[in-house]
Every structure is written in C-alpha cells, then in structure tokens.
C-alpha cells in the first residue's frame, strides 16, 4: 500500500519563483538558474512513492535538497509545485487546522541535532507531542513512559537533556517521535551527529524496532553506507534532483551514472550484495535413487569431487563425495541413499556476501542456497563471490 506519494515536487527558494520554474522546465541547471535569477532550486521535479512499512533512505551531499524534501512531506516547507499525497490525500489542499491535525496524528520527526527542549526533562520531552494533542496528563505520561522503554531509557525520566550523552539524547528524540504512535517517521540525518560506534548501535536499534513496529520511515543521510544498511530502497539526490532510486543491491550492482559509480566505489559491497545477485543455478545434481555408477560418470564428466543430492521435489538432502561413490560401487550398492552426508552448510538468498564468505571460509566446496522449505535454489562458490566483490 502506498503511504506517501510524491509527484513532480519542486521547491524554489526566493521571491521570483515563476521565472526560475520556467527555466527549470527548460532543463537549465541549478547553478545557472541561481546565476540568472538569484533563485535557489531546492528540489526539482521529484517523484517517488513509499509503501507502508518501508524504510526509504534519501542520500545526497550537503545542499542536495534532502532537508527540503523531508520538510515538504509534512509541509514545514511549502512546495512551489507538485503534490505530496499522504494516504492518498493531497496535503497541499489541507487548511491550517487539518494540517496541524495531520502533523499531530501521522508524523513523528527526529532531528539531526536532536532538538530536545532544554527546559523540559526527558519524560516531558517525550510527552511533548501528546501534550500538543491535549491528551490528559495521566495517559500522556503512560504513553511517554512506554516510548522511553522502547529506547531503553526508562530510568532517565527526570534527567534534563543536557545531562545525557549524544546517543542517549537521540534516543529521547526517537522516543519523542514514537510516543505519538505515528504512521510515518521522518528522520533528518538523525544519526549524523553521533560517534561511529554509537551510530552503528542506533542503526541496529532502529532496524530492530522497525522489525517490530512496521512504521513507514523516510530517513535522510549523507552517508551512503548508512543508506545502504538501513534502506529497503535508497534515493540518491544531487542538486535537488533524483539521480537514482532503487534497492541497495540495485544501486551497487548497476549505478545509474558516473556520479553514483564514484559513490559506491568505497562501499563495502560484501555487506550490501546478497546471494540473490550472484546465485548460479545448477543442474549437476544427484537424486537419492540414482545408481552410484551413473553419478560416478556424471561427476567424472564434470570434474567434481562432490555432488549435491536433491529429492525430486527439489528438497536438498545433502552431498555425496567421490570416495563415497567409489565405495558404493565397490560394494555394488543400488542407490546412494545410504551415503548421503547431511552436514552440508546452506544459506538463503537474503544472506549477504559477508555471511557467505564466512561460511565458504570453512567449507571448501560450493555452497547451496535454499529457501525456507529447504528447496535448492542454486549455488554460490568461492569464485563468483570474489568476482562480485571485485
């Protein structure tokens, strides 16, 4: 289901927008428009959708328009052109009260520099959104407490924000956003001000929370690693325009242009790419009912020392080795059923190359990839894992 739909969204900063809009339509660049008209292009013709439960990460360098974009979603910034639909409602049609109501009910926002209220203690910070909704005190604090618990800060209720570390402050910021039980979380560089270690923790925590809450999250960052780690899909922006939009794997595997290419050069691909993208299908398999002699021939033809054994419904049973086959032939057995070694490691198509590498390091042979029913989907081997990381 589409939660957020952004259509032809354009934002010009300045007092003579008409002229800038016309130049923009002609395809004139942001810099040139600024030179000619003094108007700053914040966003130029942005289109994308976010579905319910998805984490969409917007990534771009400073000044690329990320903050402007996220603020157009809850109309903290008024778009110059185009629409934003939330649950199908065009929010530019809302009057002042309806807009306030929308912000109160639907959105939770987390800020780069936390934006905690220094005159309020942690609990009252977290309860802020509920207070704005005019919720009565008892219920408000109850909800704020459970939000604090979500981020593990239940013991810090009465502390002032200034008494907390950066990481803790941002947890409070996150709790404040979660307390209103929003459908949509807007996170503008929420982790950018944190130390790398704390930042990694917060990313993991967000993913853990998300696995439970299934919010729709628009996450802004200028860090591609963060984008690829957190995002179900990633939007790459430059000068107010979208350069590429896709899953982390799509972006890493097929960068849209040189600009993206340069970005992903330093990315640790082993964390992004999954077995899905390097999977090799294989038909060199044995069935448990095959005769050892037939398998022996098959293996010799393909120079194999070991072969996967798969039932007729494609369920992976294990492997047999060349030695096993030879023993079976010498004993004159009819099938290989008794020789199957079941201790073969497996992986799923969603496992990252990093995981595959750690398995392959121990297992000196190809690695079968299976689905939840343990049916064989294909294999990966040392060679194609390394090739993908090249």
Partner 1 sequence: MEDIPKLPLDHWIDDGLDFLTDNFSFLTKIVSRHLEDGIDHIVEGLMYFPPWVMIIIFALIAWRLASYKMGIFTVLGLSLLWNLRLWESTMETLTLVIVATFIAILIAIPTGILAAVSKLANRIIMPLMDLMQTMPAFVYLIPAIPFFGLGTVSAIFSTVIFAMPPTIRLTCLGIKQVSPELVEAADAFGSTKTQKLFKVQLPLAIPTIMAGINQTIMLALSMVVIAAMIGAGGLGGEVWTAIQRLKPGMGFQAGIAIVILAIILDRITQKIGRGRVA
Ligand X SMILES: Nc1ncnc2c1ncn2[C@@H]1O[C@H](COP(=O)(O)OP(=O)(O)OP(=O)(O)O)[C@@H](O)[C@H]1O
Interaction residues for ligand X, span 207-236 (CB under 6 A) = 222
CA gap 164, 2 in Å, rounded: 38
Contacts of 331 (CB under 8 A, 6+ apart): none
The phi and psi torsions of 42 (rounded to 5 degrees) equal -85, -50
Exposed (0-12), middle (13-18) or buried (19+): which is 211, by Cβ within 10 Å? exposed
Instruction: Tell which one of 1, 15, 26, 62 touches ligand X (CB under 6 A).
Output: 62
| 102 sits near partner 1 (criterion: CB under 8 A) | yes
For the segment 186-215, give every residue that binds partner 1 (CB under 8 A). 186
Rounded distance between C-alpha atoms, residue 171 and residue 169, angstroms: 5
- CA nearest neighbour of 191 among 205, 211, 212, 209: 205
With CB under 8 A as the contact rule, the residue among 22, 36, 90, 117 that binds partner 1 is: 117
Residue 68 binds which entry of Mg ion, ligand X, partner 1, none, with Cβ cut-offs from 5 to 8 Å by kind? ligand X
**67: contact with Mg ion by CB under 5 A:** yes
The answer to whether 12 and 40 are in contact (CB under 8 A) is: yes
Positions in 57-86 near partner 1 (CB under 8 A): 74, 76
128 binds, among Mg ion, partner 1, ligand X, none (CB under 5 to 8 A by kind): partner 1
Per the DSSP assignment, residues forming a β-bridge with 108 are: 185
Q: Rule CB under 6 A: choose which of 37, 67, 80, 352 binds ligand X.
A: 67
Q: State in angstroms the smallest separation of the CB of 193 from Mg ion.
A: 12
Which range of residues in 31-39, 67-75, 142-150, 296-304 is near Mg ion by CB under 5 A?
67-75
DSSP secondary structure, 302-362, as one string: TT-SEEEEE-TT-BEEEEEEHHHHHHHHHHT-S-SGGG-B-----B-TTSBHHHHHHHHHH
DSSP 274: B
Q: Under 8 Å CB-to-CB from 221, ≥6 apart: which residues?
A: 57, 58, 59, 189, 191, 192, 227, 230
Rounded to whole angstroms, how far apart are CA atoms 199 and 127? 24
Using CB under 6 A, pick the residue from 2, 7, 51, 63 that binds ligand X. 63
CB of 168 to partner 1, least distance (A): 17
Cβ nearer to partner 1, comparing 135 with 339: 135
| Cα distance between residue 311 and residue 335, in whole Å | 13
Closest chain position to Mg ion (CB): 67
Chosen residue from 132, 280, 294, 327 binding partner 1 by CB under 8 A: 132
15-44 binders of ligand X (CB under 6 A) = 40, 42
Q: How many residues does the chain have?
A: 390
**Region binding partner 1 by CB under 8 A among candidate stretches 6-14, 112-120, 144-152, 328-336:** 112-120
**C-beta neighbour count of 149 within 10 angstroms:** 12
3-state SS class at 236: strand
Does residue 158 belong to the site contacting partner 1 (CB under 8 A)?
A: no
Nearer to Mg ion (CB atom), residue 91 or residue 220: 220
Number of chain positions touching ligand X (CB under 6 A) = 12
325, 299 Cβ separation under 8 angstroms: yes
Instruction: Assess 48 for contact with ligand X (CB under 6 A).
Output: no
Q: Does the protein bind Mg ion through residue 10 (CB under 5 A)?
A: no
The reply to whether 119 sits near partner 1 by the rule CB under 8 A is: yes
Considering only the stretches 44-52, 58-66, 80-88, 90-98, report the one whose residues sit in contact with ligand X under the rule CB under 6 A: 58-66
Q: Which does 42 bind (CB under 5 to 8 A by kind): partner 1, Mg ion, ligand X, none?
A: ligand X
Question: Do 244 and 212 meet the contact criterion of CB atoms below 8 Å apart?
Answer: no
Q: Tell me if 16 contacts partner 1 by CB under 8 A.
A: no
Q: Which residues bind partner 1 (CB under 8 A)?
A: 74, 76, 100-105, 107, 109, 111, 113, 115, 117-119, 128-129, 131-133, 180, 186
């Amino acid at each position: 289901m589409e939660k957020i739909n952004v259509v032809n969204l354009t934002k010009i900063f300045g007092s003579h927008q008409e002229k800038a809009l016309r130049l923009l339509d002609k395809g004139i660049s942001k810099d040139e428009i600024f030179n000619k008209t003094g108007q700053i292009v914040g966003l130029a013709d942005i289109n994308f959708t976010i579905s319910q439960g998805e984490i969409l990460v917007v990534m771009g360098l400073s000044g690329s328009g990320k903050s402007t974009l996220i603020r157009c979603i809850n109309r903290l910034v008024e778009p110059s052109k185009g629409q934003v639909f939330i649950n199908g409602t065009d929010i530019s049609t809302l009057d002042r009260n309806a807009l306030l109501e929308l912000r109160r009910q639907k959105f939770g926002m987390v800020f780069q520099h936390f934006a905690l209220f220094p005159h309020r203690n942690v609990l009252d910070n977290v309860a802020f959104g509920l207070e704005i909704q005019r919720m009565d005190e008892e219920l408000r604090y109850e909800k704020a407490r459970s939000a604090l618990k979500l981020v593990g800060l239940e013991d810090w209720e009465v502390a002032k924000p200034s008494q907390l570390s950066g990481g803790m402050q941002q947890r409070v910021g996150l709790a404040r956003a979660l307390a209103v039980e929003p459908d949509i979380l807007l996170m503008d560089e929420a982790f950018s001000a944190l130390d790398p270690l704390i930042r990694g923790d917060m990313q993991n925590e967000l993913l853990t929370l998300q696995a439970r809450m299934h919010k729709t999250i628009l996450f802004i960052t200028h860090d591609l690693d963060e984008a690829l780690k957190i995002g179900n899909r990633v939007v790459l922006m430059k000068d107010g325009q979208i350069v590429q939009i896709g899953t982390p794997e799509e972006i890493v595997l097929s960068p849209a242009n040189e600009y993206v290419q340069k970005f992903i050069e330093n990315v640790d691909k082993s964390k992004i790419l999954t077995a899905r993208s390097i999977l090799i299908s294989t038909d060199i398999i044995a069935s448990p009912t095959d005769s050892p002699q037939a398998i022996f021939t098959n293996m010799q033809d393909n120079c194999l020392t070991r072969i996967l054994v798969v039932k007729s419904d494609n369920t992976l049973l294990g492997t047999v080795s060349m030695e096993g086959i030879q023993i079976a032939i010498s004993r004159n057995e009819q099938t290989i059923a008794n020789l199957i070694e079941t201790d073969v490691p497996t992986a799923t198509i969603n496992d990252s190359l990093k995981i595959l590498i750690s398995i392959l390091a121990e297992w000196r042979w190809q690695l079968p990839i299976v689905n939840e029913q343990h049916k064989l989907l294909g294999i990966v081997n040392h060679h194609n894992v390394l090739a993908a990381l090249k």
